[in-house]
Amino acid sequence: MSFQDLKKQSKMGSLTEKLIKQVEKLNDSTSKDDDRFWKPTMDKGGTGSAIIRFLPAPADCELPWVQVWSHAFKSQGGWMIDNCLTTLGKACPVCEANRELWNTGSKDNQNIVRDRKRKLSYYSNIYIVKDPANPENEGKVFLYKFGKKIFDKITAAMKPEFDDEEPINPFDFWKGANFRLKIRKVEGYWNYDKSEFDSVSALSTDDDELETIYNSLHNLNEFVDAKEFKSYDDLKKRLEYVLGIRGTTKKQDPETLDEEDEYENSSDSESSSFASTSNKKSPSYSNTESESVDNEDEDDALSYFAKLAEMD
């Protein structure tokens, strides 16, 4: 760029506009930057709705979804927001640290484990049937990140609780069903309890249209690719910084989370070793599907650490 071009762009304000866009991009999360993702919109009244269709597995994927475990918590050294290596069936230093704390038998330490427990997210392809807040999304294929509550709805449809209910494959083009996503705010968290599947119906009777949709599916394997995960040593180093065990490092802002994730502001926890006791709880990490306050979900996460403890 020549000096004259630089001067011209400065007068037009395009340089400032470009920098602002870059700052916004840095401050946004990955899924916010990625226009492949769809997210529901809440209205001023605290409710939201849409009709979506879960789509089949892409050509190179074994399943129509992938699941990713992650950690997100804050201590005296800042935030730790990273994918958990247990997603890949590997050892995770954060989980090991949680295991040591749990094994102390201290209620304070076990409360810390509850705050640092793994969070489970799922990724799938969806087709937007109706999006009242953003009608321009209708008829398009997007990636959708969701939590255990919605996945429970999916598994309940595939494996009904009662004998008089027919199992369905929500991901099937022809024998699947539309999903009515209904969101409310309950005690400050997004709640999906009223969401439900419609009766079985084909997404379309036009095979050409279905083939076009199928060819538009996004590969899900990228979310469980090893390159998306830090090494064990790097995670351990980051953990030690966050817990204040090793020096100081650049604080990691909570920029990898989206609107479905919420942080509570509270005092930093104190920890001088993985098994250190503390009377200060680290800030809890909650998602808007109320997973953190759901007893069944918490028991499921904590049972992971209990099983690890039994291996000693």
69-80 pLDDT, tens per residue? 999 999 989 999
* Confidence at residue 311, expressed as pLDDT on a 0 to 100 scale: 53
Segment-wise mean pLDDT, segments of 10 residues, the chain, 312 residues = 58 57 46 82 91 96 96 93 97 96 95 94 98 96 96 95 90 97 90 95 96 96 96 96 75 47 32 34 35 41 51 52
Beta strands in the chain (DSSP E): 47-54, 65-75, 78-83, 119-130, 141-146, 179-186, 189-191, 196-197, 261-263, 285-287
Residue 249 lies in a domain: yes
pLDDT tens-place string over residues 261-306? 433 333 233 233 333 333 333 333 333 333 333 344 444 445 554 5
CATH code, 61: 3.90.198.10
**Structural domain includes residue 63:** yes
3-state secondary structure of 68: strand
Sequence-separated (6 or more) residues with CB below 8 Å from residue 299: none
- Which pLDDT value is given to residue 189? 86
Instruction: Tell me what pLDDT residue 18 has.
Output: 55
The answer to whether residue 136 sits within a structural domain is yes
pLDDT recorded at residue 56: 96
Q: Give the domain extent around 224.
A: 34-312
Q: Tokens for 184?
A: 């409310």
The DSSP letter of residue 269 is: P
The answer to whether residues 55 and 213 touch, using CB atoms and an 8 Å cutoff, is yes
pLDDT value at residue 264: 31
Alpha helices in 63-137 (DSSP H): 93-103, 107-116
Nearest residue to 301 via CA among 171, 113, 78, 166: 113
* 208 in a structural domain: yes
The predicted pLDDT at position 187 comes to 85
Instruction: Examine residue 13 and state whether it is found in any structural domain, yes or no.
Output: no
Q: What is the spatial distance between Cα 114 and Cα 278, in angstroms, rounded to a whole number? A: 13
At 212, list the tokens.
């076009």
Residue 25 covered by a domain:
no
The single-letter code of the amino acid at 281 is: K
**66 backbone φψ class: left, alpha, beta (φ>0; ψ -120 to 50):** beta
Task: Tell me how many domains the chain contains.
Answer: 1
pTM above 0.85, yes or no: no
pLDDT at residue 165 in the model: 87
List CB contacts of 74: < 8 A, sequence separation 6 or more: 80, 242, 263, 268, 269, 282, 283
For residue 160, tell me if it sits in a domain. yes
What is the rounded distance in angstroms from the CA atom of residue 56 to the CA atom of residue 216?
11
3-state secondary structure of 57: coil
